[in-house]
Structure 1
Amino acid sequence: MNIDALAATIQASEDFAPLTAHLGYLRDIAQPCIEMRLLDGVAAASASRFGGMPMVPAGFVWPTHAVGQYRFLGQINFSDIASPSALPSTGVLSLFYASDEDGECFWGDPDYVVAYYWDNPDQLAHVIASDRNPGHSAALDFKAGISIPRHYELRDDWPFDEYSQEADRVFSALWQLQADDYLLGYPSFDSLAYDPTPEKDWVCLMTLVSHETLQWCWQDGAKLMVFIHKDKLKEVDFSELRCDAG
């Protein structure tokens, strides 16, 4: 959905009536994002997916943390994304997150999510962690979208007061407009009372909800947000990611 389609949607439905008076403001603050939808089919080997087995080069060493192995989160084949964006246009990004049976791993820890980028998918092959069942896998579909903040904490220039009825109506309407899982854009969360962006010049790389089929449970069933410095993203350097959940 682009901003013009959003405007048409807002004007056509009574559910979005609270947004009509603020359409100009929403146009100004909207950011591009890439919406992700989980598909029922099995993804091709090099295609984008959550869960399952990663595609990695020969000699790849499965990442470990202090109390065990990382778990494969998913892979993004950037050539699957047709829309221009701040993301690379080619290559594969494989992501892993720290997991353990005793719950010692914490999403706020450094390197809770680690990523590996390879610019040539033709050199990659399947690999399975030696002591992990690969689990369920879901293919991904991508669609260009727009991201509008759904939380008062994400901006300081809202045209209404935080605890006003107007704020309640606007944010209730905004919650209906955006995909659950998406790349780029504003972060979104269920239970935080602050902006989770780590520092200035950091941007949200992805926002993911908990998915039972993938055995994802971020902070009691909430959302995981993964951040990257904007300069690192331009340099296609995914070596330092930071996370929050809630």
Structure 2
Amino acid sequence: MTTTLMTYAGPVDERAPVTRTGGVPLVPAGFSWPLCAACSGPMQFLAQLWGTDPGGREAGPALPTEGVLSVFMCQNDPGLCDEWDPSAGGNLALLFPRAGLTAAPVPTEGETLLPETCGIDRTAIDMASYHEARSHWAQAHGRPLEDVLGRLGGVPSWLQHDETPACPTCTQPMSFVAQLEEGRDHRTAINFGGGGCGYAFACAPCGEGSFLWQR
């Protein structure tokens, strides 16, 4: 069994139509920037995950090949908006068709963008364990462990208990899309409570996404 790692591929344009963390989300017409249900402030854009990359490699069966999953999380009052919970309204994952997407207008107030935009390579490692695959890749390439930005597909490596969300439309368990690490530099990293991981899910038939994090 292989594990598909998301490895740091260097900086990319903040509007690049690729899988990346940070930058500006690409969105369909009529998009409104997500607001936190607790504080009413604009959420921070974390990542966009494309069903296929420019080389035609697929993210996995959970994400449509012509789809993009965009992840947002409130950072206006960290820890006070239940932004780790998949249903409290402090985060949001939106599944879009990739055709016709353009850069979203960014709100002028609030914590809306990460300080760094990171390109991502998809690297398959012939190991079932995510943590073993992550360590193996770092050692084999002489790279820091923090250059592994997460994984695509497979089975979540939960830091706590299994929190697979149910689809709000069909009520069935959602499919795992990606696991996100905080990032390669603490000054520009995603805030998952210090050492946490984020987990993105989708229900492709219903066009729904979901997100949560643990530490």
Q: What is the TM-score of this pair, normalised by structure 2? A: 0.70
Instruction: Return the offset for 1:47.
Output: 2.1
- Of the candidates 151, 173, 176, which is equivalent to residue 135 of structure 2? 176
Task: Specify the SS of the correspondent of 2:100.
Answer: helix
Q: Distance in 2 between matches of 1:57 and 1:174?
A: 36
Q: Is the 8 A contact 1:46 1:121 kept in 2?
A: no
In structure 1, stretches of 5+ residues that fail to align are 1-29, 151-171
Q: Distance in 2 between matches of 1:146 and 1:197?
A: 25
Q: Distance in 1 between matches of 2:198 and 2:96?
A: 24
- Of the candidates 49, 67, 71, which is equivalent to residue 76 of structure 1? 49
Percentage of identical aligned residues: 23
Q: Distance in 2 between matches of 1:138 and 1:84?
A: 17
Who is 1:52 aligned against? Answer: 23
Q: Distance in 2 between matches of 1:174 and 1:138?
A: 21
Who is 2:143 aligned against? Answer: none
Higher-RCO chain (CA-CA 8 Å, sequence separation at least 6) = 2
Task: Specify the SS of the correspondent of 1:47.
Answer: coil
| Aligned residue identity for 2:22 | G
- Of the candidates 48, 52, 71, which is equivalent to residue 95 of structure 1? 71
| Aligned residue identity for 2:93 | A
Does structure 1 residue 143 correspond to structure 2 residue 119?
Answer: no
Who is 2:145 aligned against? Answer: none
Task: Specify the SS of the correspondent of 1:214.
Answer: coil
Q: 1:244 to 1:41 in 2, by over 3 A?
A: closer
- Of the candidates 60, 65, 83, which is equivalent to residue 85 of structure 1? 60
Q: Deviations over 1:98-121 (max 9, x none)?
A: 222352122025144322233244
**Aligned pairs (5 A) from 1:100-139:** 100-106=76-82, 107-110=84-87, 111-131=89-109, 132=111, 134=113, 135-139=115-119
Which of 1 and 2 has greater Rg?
A: 1
* Structure with greater helix percent: 1
Task: Specify the SS of the correspondent of 1:122.
Answer: coil
Q: Is the 8 A contact 1:147 1:185 kept in 2?
A: no
Task: Specify the SS of the correspondent of 2:43.
Answer: strand
Q: Distance in 1 between matches of 2:119 and 2:75?
A: 22
Who is 1:222 aligned against? Answer: 196
Instruction: Return the offset for 1:187.
Output: 1.5
Q: Distance in 2 between matches of 1:197 and 1:149?
A: 19
Q: Which runs of 4+ in 1 moved over 4 A?
A: 172-175, 177-180
Q: 1:242 to 1:221 in 2, by over 3 A?
A: same
Q: Is the 8 A contact 1:45 1:126 kept in 2?
A: no
Task: Specify the SS of the correspondent of 1:75.
Answer: strand
Task: Specify the SS of the correspondent of 2:52.
Answer: helix
Q: Is the 8 A contact 1:189 1:222 kept in 2?
A: no
Q: Distance in 2 between matches of 1:221 and 1:237?
A: 30
Q: Distance in 2 between matches of 1:69 and 1:119?
A: 23
Q: Is the 8 A contact 2:34 2:43 kept in 1?
A: yes
- RMSD value, Cα: 3.1
Q: Distance in 1 between matches of 2:211 and 2:16?
A: 28
